[in-house]
Structure 1
Amino acid sequence: MLNKIIKFFLDNRLVTILLLLVLVVGGLATAPFNWHGGLIPRDPIAVDAIPDIGDNQQIVATEWMGRSPKDIQEQITYPLTTSLLGIPGVRTIRSTSMFGMSFIYVVFEDNIEFYWSRSRILEKLNSLPAGTLPQGVQPTLGPDATALGQIFWYTLEGRDSKTGKPTGGWDPDELRTIQDFYVKYSLSTARGVSEVASIGGFVKEYQVELSPNAMRSFGVSIMDVMSAIQKSNIDIGAETVEINRVEYLIRGLGYIKNIKDIEEAVIAARNGVPVRIKDVAFVTTGPAPRRGGLDKEGVEAVGAVVVARFGSNPLEVIDNVKAKIKEIEPGLPQKTLADGTVSKVTVVPFYDRTGIIKETIGTLESALSHEILIVIIVIIVLVFNLRASIIISSLLPIAVLATFMMMKLTGISANIVALSGIAIAIGVVADVGVVFVESIIRYKEMPENKHIQGGKTLLKIIYASVCEVSVPIATAMITTIVSFIPVFAMEGQEGKLFSPLAYTKTYVLGFAFLIGVVILPTIAYLVFAVKIHSAKMRQIGNWLLVVAGVILAIWFGNIIALGLTVIGVNNLTSHLWKNIQMNTYINLAITLLIAVHFLADEWLPLGPERGFFLNILFVALAVGAVLAVLWVLVIYYERILRWSLSHRTIFLLIPFSTIVFGVTIWLGFDRTFGFLSFGSQKIRASAVWQSAVKRFPGVGQEFMPTLNEGTFLLMPTSMPYTGVEQNLELIGTLDKRISHIPEVEQTVGKWGRVNSALDPAPIQMYENTINYRSEYALNEDGQRGRFKVDKDGAFVLKNGSLYQPANGFRRVPVDSLIRDSKGDYLRQWRPEIRSTNDIWQQIVNASHLPGLTSSPKLQPIEARLVMLSTGMRAPMGIKIYGPDLEAIETAGKDIEQALKSISSIVPSSVFYDRA
């Protein structure tokens, strides 16, 4: 069957080329990378930083304001939990009862469809028996999103419409009203948005302050006042009346529009005199009680979080939200301040997942390009045939593009895990191409085939050579794919995390083999059949290379383009070489140098601050060392093989030692060789044993590796009895202190909860979103950008001034720099700051305040995953169960003190979450 497929596509080369075009165009259209072209319609695959490994859960939130957590637990949480237990597919139910609010987390099995589970919960809530819940209490289903759906946070600020600088001039209640009745509704219409949850400011409400003495004198009760207000705030319909054959609708207009409408409402009549609200109470407008708020660098703020719908493309949703913000900006209100400044309400984002998504995708794009470059270098050196190298190298990008198309069809999003599967498979893809092309070259170099240049005979050679190795390659591919069956069988968080990698790697391997047997033979025929017999045509072609290299070098300002010119000059002077193969060797060397130059320029393994010369020298030495080892193996392979077969015992010590050494590093010296000291404390106490245990402690284990998100989430808590004013003071102080760290770009603190079921935080819990600057200024694709410098290496700013980092760190806005492809990279951290851990330590030092607990090192996505999975805000914790709250609190304090005394635990990171 394979032979028939190979023959069909080799004989029908037009069909093969059309298939190749479909794969390339489809891949370019669905690729997750920010490739601006315009020629091909773009429909990229969904993009996010990491897979959503959270539980398949739904949230039922119930509000009963003013009631204590104990009342909430007994009258709402417990009855609802017992009622929801019978829903099919439910794995477990967690709940939280807090002041005025109940949150129930219904966790379903992973095979239960998301929206099916929502419909089952709604059916159960609608069929609750009468009396299950207190009168007037209505449970609601949370948004159709997961905790990872919180993709965009913003604040509303008064800013100068011309300069964009903050101006203020707006009260918190004004901003909250604009947010709730204009911005929120507008952004909710953006495609893919599940919810826009407001926070901060003051919700305006009518407030009636009763006078007990006046109520006593008029003989009215609180219930009478409540009933009068309720009855006065309704419209009444009184059917119709017909006058002169015309029908009129009769309406009694009663909706409250201002304070006076409430004041004039009649409660009762005493001796024919109406008793109105204003006779027994004072009516005014004021703020509703608050259970959460925002603070931006010490100033109270108003804002919201945008939640993406389940299954949507987060990057696309963010783009839709930004487009909607741009659309509503002209309609946002503005006012002229006392000094004549025009202050316009502006939407200012402070957490935007676009940055981490693009940086992650940009990093993997760079990794893939670096990997492909390295593979091309190895192929050029080992195959030592430029045409063959071109054929093999073409297989790599085609397989990757085809994989993007398959990811789009199967609904797999592009994230760091899925794209890592592609990166892992690149080497195997190259192996497929090498085997096929080497087989073709071997057939071509047979004595009876050396004179063949093209035509049907070349087709027969390619067909025979590809058929010979197609079955072994198919067996190898199938074996590799079958080995991933355990990964496909994973369930829960493990399956959600690793299955995208298994799928993408399988797609790459499958397409590599498909391209190898279907498309590669045609490419090989087209490449090997091209022979320019006319010396005049060869000369013209070489002169075109010379001119093209010069033009490209001038156009793009990249001197490496002159490599084409050098190749052209080498070809024009090839007649000067005595050895006819020397011309080929020089062209291969030039190609190799170009590839190494591009790799060094993109990779910069020693860092931009070391300069390009040292980086390219390091890359050249590293590549040279690897290739030297490969060439030694190629040249002396037979001799090495004969020695290994003659000295089998000695040779087997190498793999055995490797296994023992690897196990020792993995498990640790004590666990690996502990059996040698069984029953002997003297051996364990010896200096040699203790030194080995210290040197090989074992490799730590972590389920989810940490991803640098570019944002920290500081989550301390205060005591449970702290009030709103104390929380405002603490969060403001935190933000002020953290914002003074030079590497911190912006900090916004949240206390309490936003108006969403996804945020069940009490008012004493804080979340400080801290955006820190990347080590080097990045472009829109998340890759290091170059900026214009003068002859002394100082960065040129748009206002004509200069910035020299060596003379001392100071903040320079990236938009004041001038982008230049021949410029330098801007390092934005102080010299003593070498990693994100150093920045976090600066934050920890600044956040030590009396009355606040410490906080684990968390980031927004990481924290949401942790809280979604465990119900706690730390990656490691202890849950305590007991007969009553007093016993639990006593045990919690004792455990807190015990954990702080353990040597491997940082004492400041341990705190008991007081109830």
Structure 2
Amino acid sequence: MVHRIIEWSLRNRFIVLTLVAGLFVWGIISVKRNPIDAIPDLSENQVIVFTEWMGRAPQLIEDQITYPLVTNLQGMPRIKYVRGTSMFGMSFIYVIFEDDVDVYWARARVLERLSTVSQSLPQGATPQLGPDGTGVGHILWYTLDAPKLDLGEQRAIQDWYVKFALQNVPGVSEIASFGGFQKQYSITLSPNKLLYYKLSVGDVINAVRTNNNESGGRKFELSDIGYIIKTSGYLQSLEQIENIPVQNQAGVAVRVADIATVQMIGETRLGIFDQNGEGERVGGIVVMRYGENAASVIEGIKKKMLEVAKGLPEGVKFDIVYDRGELIQESVDSIKNTLIEEMIVVSLIVIIFLFHWRSALSIVIQIPITIAIAFILLNAFGISSNIMSLTGIALAIGVIVDNGIIMSENAYKHLAERYALWEKEKKYKIK
């Protein structure tokens, strides 16, 4: 069979050269389209279910949230196993699917099951899916360098401006904020004053909730002009909360300020983010979506940062803490240099040992063609260009060259034997 292929190839050189040229061009296109990353994604095919029920102990979270979710999420198709973790105020469920399952199909199945499970959970505990990223999806960390702003203002800029802008970059699954203080209104009740006015905590909560609302009226026409009637009741300052009436006693309104202290505070934190020992910072983590090109996503994030920086307050700028793009570029450059060095060394060795430039050319030309064709297969099997795959290609160059040398030596040997036989026959005819 091999002899027939070789014979057919020698008789149809134009077809073979055209086919090889087409595969080489296809391979070059595949090189440009192949996703680039520093490390291969070996994480499990998982869907994360996150439930927050703040203020509850881990055992209560385990009994009323984690256990019901784990038991109800089991039994789904193409699932391997379900893991659950309970901590103070939070529950994490990891649903592990088989490796060949599409991640968005898996997320849809989990959502279907959660729609029936949520009714059995405590009031205020709503499970939600985690980002559609993987364990190696954290591709870029950044902080805000804002020495003139306090941590609450920095966190507000991150949550209400920077985060929404960066989430629009193609390939980004989530921008996870960290550090600083999340501003919130705090109403500290006085038990003695509640007893004096004969009020309960529920009365205060209902009063604040009722007054922090908007309601619509109707359209009113007057003199051929239409007016839309509505009430604007959203609370916007500490003074508005203090002036909320809780109850009317003897014709006098009891306000929130009469029974409580209203102030702006930060939400309770479980830790801080310090950078280089210079103090706390506020920033975000860019989580890449499943199956995206890490290099292109990082490039898009950096371009978007230049646009977002124009709208930041004076003196505020981005400080990139972790950038996988640099690691990707160094890894790719290292492998490229290795491939070029190997091609040069192999070419010199082949020329020295064979001492025949046509044989050396036929061997050396196999290297770029084979590498280009390898990227066609990488795209076909969904493998990115990373340290592992590119190193494998670099190691395979030796095998490619060995095969070429063996074939060239074998061909040279047979041609030499045929040439010697032809010389003998020529001498015999002359005699």
TM-score by length of 2: 0.90
- Aligned position for 2:429: none
Q: Do 2:332 and 2:386's aligned partners in 1 also have CA atoms closer than 8 Å?
A: yes
The 5-angstrom pairing of residues 233-632 of structure 1 reads 233-298=212-277, 299-334=279-314, 344-442=315-413, 445=416, 446-447=418-419
Identity of aligned residues (%): 40
3-state DSSP of counterpart to 2:273: strand
Cα deviations by residue, 1:514-563 (Å, 9 ceiling, x for unpaired): xxxxxxxxxxxxxxxxxxxxxxxxxxxxxxxxxxxxxxxxxxxxxxxxxx
The 5-angstrom pairing of residues 819-830 of structure 1 reads none
2:87 to 98, 108, 114: 98
Cα deviations by residue, 1:677-706 (Å, 9 ceiling, x for unpaired): xxxxxxxxxxxxxxxxxxxxxxxxxxxxxx
- Aligned position for 2:9: 6
How many residue pairs get aligned? The number is: 418
Supply the distance in 1 between the matched residues of 2:235 and 2:12 (Cα, whole angstroms): 78
Q: Residue 273 of structure 1: CA displacement?
A: 2.1
- Aligned position for 2:145: 157
3-state DSSP of counterpart to 2:218: strand
Q: Residue 30 of structure 1: CA displacement?
A: 3.9
- Aligned position for 2:428: none
> Which structure is higher in RCO with an 8 Å CA cutoff and minimum separation 6?
2
Residue 327 of structure 1 aligns to which amino acid in structure 2?
A: E
Supply the distance in 2 between the matched residues of 1:92 and 1:171 (Cα, whole angstroms): 45
Q: Residue 5 of structure 1: CA displacement?
A: 5.0
Cα deviations by residue, 1:644-699 (Å, 9 ceiling, x for unpaired): xxxxxxxxxxxxxxxxxxxxxxxxxxxxxxxxxxxxxxxxxxxxxxxxxxxxxxxx
3-state DSSP of counterpart to 2:310: helix
The 5-angstrom pairing of residues 145-224 of structure 1 reads 145-158=133-146, 168-224=147-203
- Aligned position for 1:143: 131
Supply the distance in 1 between the matched residues of 2:302 and 2:11 (Cα, whole angstroms): 50
Q: Structure 2 unaligned runs (5+)?
A: 424-431
Supply the distance in 2 between the matched residues of 1:272 and 1:439 (Cα, whole angstroms): 111
More strand by share: 2
Q: Residue 180 of structure 1: CA displacement?
A: 0.6
- Aligned position for 1:612: none
Cα deviations by residue, 1:411-465 (Å, 9 ceiling, x for unpaired): 22111221232123212222332344445545655439999xxxxxxxxxxxxxx
Q: Residue 129 of structure 1: CA displacement?
A: 6.2
- Aligned position for 1:741: none
Cα deviations by residue, 1:20-76 (Å, 9 ceiling, x for unpaired): 544444444443xxxxxxxxxxx3411122222122111111111111111111111
Residue 172 of structure 2 aligns to which amino acid in structure 1?
A: V
Residue 351 of structure 1 aligns to which amino acid in structure 2?
A: Y
Supply the distance in 2 between the matched residues of 1:4 and 1:379 (Cα, whole angstroms): 25
- Aligned position for 1:715: none
Residue 188 of structure 2 aligns to which amino acid in structure 1?
A: E
Distance 1:129 1:54, change over 3 A: closer
Distance 1:263 1:229, change over 3 A: same
Q: Residue 89 of structure 1: CA displacement?
A: 2.3
Distance 1:5 1:214, change over 3 A: farther
Supply the distance in 2 between the matched residues of 1:216 and 1:295 (Cα, whole angstroms): 45
Distance 1:129 1:11, change over 3 A: closer
Distance 1:278 1:394, change over 3 A: same
Q: Residue 347 of structure 1: CA displacement?
A: 1.1
Supply the distance in 2 between the matched residues of 1:142 and 1:153 (Cα, whole angstroms): 19
- Aligned position for 2:426: none
Cα deviations by residue, 1:103-159 (Å, 9 ceiling, x for unpaired): 1111122232211111111111111263x211121011100011210111111113x
3-state DSSP of counterpart to 1:153: strand
Distance 1:147 1:238, change over 3 A: same
3-state DSSP of counterpart to 2:213: coil
Q: Do 1:268 and 1:274's aligned partners in 2 also have CA atoms closer than 8 Å?
A: yes
- Aligned position for 2:106: 117
Supply the distance in 1 between the matched residues of 2:398 and 2:181 (Cα, whole angstroms): 59
Q: Residue 294 of structure 1: CA displacement?
A: 0.6
The 5-angstrom pairing of residues 505-904 of structure 1 reads none
Q: Do 2:118 and 2:126's aligned partners in 1 also have CA atoms closer than 8 Å?
A: no
Q: Residue 359 of structure 1: CA displacement?
A: 2.3
Q: Do 2:35 and 2:384's aligned partners in 1 also have CA atoms closer than 8 Å?
A: yes
Q: Do 1:64 and 1:100's aligned partners in 2 also have CA atoms closer than 8 Å?
A: yes
Residue 267 of structure 1 aligns to which amino acid in structure 2?
A: V
Q: Structure 1 unaligned runs (5+)?
A: 32-42, 159-167, 335-343, 452-915
Distance 1:190 1:9, change over 3 A: farther
Residue 204 of structure 1 aligns to which amino acid in structure 2?
A: K
Residue 356 of structure 1 aligns to which amino acid in structure 2?
A: L
Supply the distance in 2 between the matched residues of 1:107 and 1:134 (Cα, whole angstroms): 25
Supply the distance in 1 between the matched residues of 2:206 and 2:166 (Cα, whole angstroms): 37
Q: Do 2:81 and 2:97's aligned partners in 1 also have CA atoms closer than 8 Å?
A: yes
Residues 172-181 or 234-243, more deviating: 234-243
Residue 347 of structure 2 aligns to which amino acid in structure 1?
A: I
- Aligned position for 1:791: none
3-state DSSP of counterpart to 1:293: coil
Residue 86 of structure 1 aligns to which amino acid in structure 2?
A: G
Q: Do 1:395 and 1:429's aligned partners in 2 also have CA atoms closer than 8 Å?
A: yes
Distance 1:285 1:442, change over 3 A: same
Q: Do 1:443 and 1:449's aligned partners in 2 also have CA atoms closer than 8 Å?
A: no
- Aligned position for 1:51: 40
1:69 matches 2:69: no
Q: Do 2:35 and 2:292's aligned partners in 1 also have CA atoms closer than 8 Å?
A: yes
3-state DSSP of counterpart to 1:296: coil
Q: Residue 7 of structure 1: CA displacement?
A: 5.0
Supply the distance in 2 between the matched residues of 1:363 and 1:379 (Cα, whole angstroms): 24
1:88 matches 2:91: no
Supply the distance in 2 between the matched residues of 1:123 and 1:246 (Cα, whole angstroms): 49
Q: Do 1:444 and 1:450's aligned partners in 2 also have CA atoms closer than 8 Å?
A: no
Supply the distance in 2 between the matched residues of 1:5 and 1:198 (Cα, whole angstroms): 64
Residue 272 of structure 2 aligns to which amino acid in structure 1?
A: G
Q: Residue 291 of structure 1: CA displacement?
A: 2.3
Superposed CA RMSD in Å reads 2.3
Distance 1:450 1:383, change over 3 A: farther
Supply the distance in 2 between the matched residues of 1:144 and 1:222 (Cα, whole angstroms): 41
TM-score by length of 1: 0.44
